[in-house]
Amino acid sequence: MIRRTFATTMASSASADLKNFAKDGKKILGAALNYMDIVKARGVPVPKVPLMFLKPTSSYLAEGENIVIPKVFTKVAHEVELGFIIKKTCKNVSKEDALNYVGGYCLALDLTAQCELGVARQNGHPWTLGKGFDTSTPVSSLIPLSAVKNPHDLDLWLKVNGEIRQQGNTKDLIFKIPELIEHVSKYMTLEPNDLILTGTPDGSTALAGGDVVECGLGELVKLKFNVVNE
């Protein structure tokens, strides 16, 4: 039997090359209900700890490729988010030390099959299919640390066919980046090129084939995707 032990914090001797994080990462984690306006809009209690879910890396989508709505779903919605990329292996990280493990940021969409999640929530079932389908994680290229003065004060916006659907600011996150890293690393080892999505502000609506989605993170980056039906 192989026995593994971990120190309070373990780190690789050198940071990874994160430019191809979507190609080299092993996992994507997302935070649910992490903006106060969504909690208020849904009339649910404010989470006491981060609510996390996993997405497969096969869901990544680069700009220039189409968002494909699977024919098995009747309602797929957009969720614009700030993502951050882990640069060093870590476990049991304190929130005071957490930002030392962030290697960069990205703009991301967490596309969600609300039809699937609605049924899953009602029955206490997993979210995997509603969150992890192909093309459900469109991302920008890496935004270097030097370009982001404060990750907790960035404007997020999203348009569909030129109409604003979502607007928010990361200062309204319920759990900030250090708290997300501290919480997740209690349960699983975070590795270089892993992506963590911080959550989305209120305003997500359904997409349809033929739609054009545009989104941005302050003045740092903008993305544009065409939506097609499978």
pLDDT of residue 9: 46
Q: Which two tokens stand for residue 180?
A: 């997300």
- Look at residue 210 and tell me if it is in a domain: yes
159: in domain = yes
CA atoms within 13 A on the CB side of 19: 1
Q: Residue 1 has what pLDDT? A: 34
- What is the residue-averaged pLDDT of the chain? 91
Q: Max Cα separation, the chain?
A: 58
Beta-bridge partner residues of 137: 60
Residue 123 within any structural domain of the chain? yes
Per-residue pLDDT, averaged over 211-215, amounts to 98
Out of 104-108, 122-126, 141-145, least confident range: 122-126
What would the pLDDT profile of 167-204 be if each residue is shown by its tens digit? 999 999 999 999 999 999 999 999 999 999 999 999 99
- pLDDT score recorded for residue 124: 75
pLDDT at 16: 75
Contact 145, 102 (CB under 8 A): yes
Q: How many domains does the chain have?
A: 1
CATH code of residue 207: 3.90.850.10
The answer, yes or no, to whether residue 45 has pLDDT greater than 80, is yes
- Full residue range of the structural domain in which residue 158 is found: 22-229
What are the two backbone dihedrals, phi and then psi, of residue 79, each rounded to the nearest 5 degrees?
A: -140, 110
Q: Is residue 5 part of a domain?
A: no
Tell me whether residue 166 is in a domain: yes
Long-range pairs for 120-128 at CB < 8 Å and ≥24 separation?
A: 127/53, 128/54
Q: Is residue 144 part of a domain?
A: yes
Q: Is the pLDDT of residue 14 over 60?
A: no
In a domain, 60, yes or no: yes
What are the percentages of helix, strand and coil residues in the chain, rounded to 5?
20, 35, 45
For 32, residues 6+ apart whose C-beta sits below 8 A from its C-beta are 51, 52, 53, 199
Q: What is the pLDDT of residues 110-137, one digit of tens each?
A: 999 988 666 666 777 666 888 999 999 9
